[in-house]
Amino acid sequence: MVESETKFLPFQEATKLVAAIQEEENIHDQDRRILTVYNHDDRELCWFDFEEVLQEIGPGDKQQQQDAVQNYILHHIPDWVLDL
């Protein structure tokens, strides 16, 4: 089986598409949190594991982390969300 590399939307396109990023409970594992991404029609586009994103962005104060999480997610919106 050939694995394809995930392609991401350009940042500008992602900023137009994404309306909200919500921290939520993972319904499959209540000890974990996820960051769910919604569009302007309140449709779920994709989600990210909260702890994995925090590991990627590194330490910082609350505002720095919030900005870094948003920036990270907007740079990592998979292009397949356009097919939803």
pLDDT in tens, 54-82: 999 999 899 999 999 999 999 999 999 99
Q: Which domain holds residue 19?
A: 11-83
* CA distance readout (Å), 18 to 8, 30, 47, 59: 13, 25, 12, 25
Task: Kindly state whether residue 2 falls inside one of the protein's structural domains.
Answer: no
Task: Kindly state whether residue 3 falls inside one of the protein's structural domains.
Answer: no
Nearest C-alpha neighbor of 22 from the set 10, 11, 36, 8: 36
State how far Cα 75 lies from the chain centre. 9
Task: Kindly state whether residue 21 falls inside one of the protein's structural domains.
Answer: yes
The C-alpha atoms of residue 59 and residue 7 are separated, in whole angstroms, by 27
Task: Kindly state whether residue 18 falls inside one of the protein's structural domains.
Answer: yes
Are the C-beta atoms of residues 38 and 20 closer than 8 Å to each other?
yes
Q: Residue 4 above 80 pLDDT? A: no
Task: Kindly state whether residue 33 falls inside one of the protein's structural domains.
Answer: yes
Task: Kindly state whether residue 5 falls inside one of the protein's structural domains.
Answer: no
Task: Kindly state whether residue 64 falls inside one of the protein's structural domains.
Answer: yes
- Enter the pTM of the model: 0.89
Task: Kindly state whether residue 1 falls inside one of the protein's structural domains.
Answer: no
Provide the number of structural domains found in the chain: 1
SS3 state at 56: helix
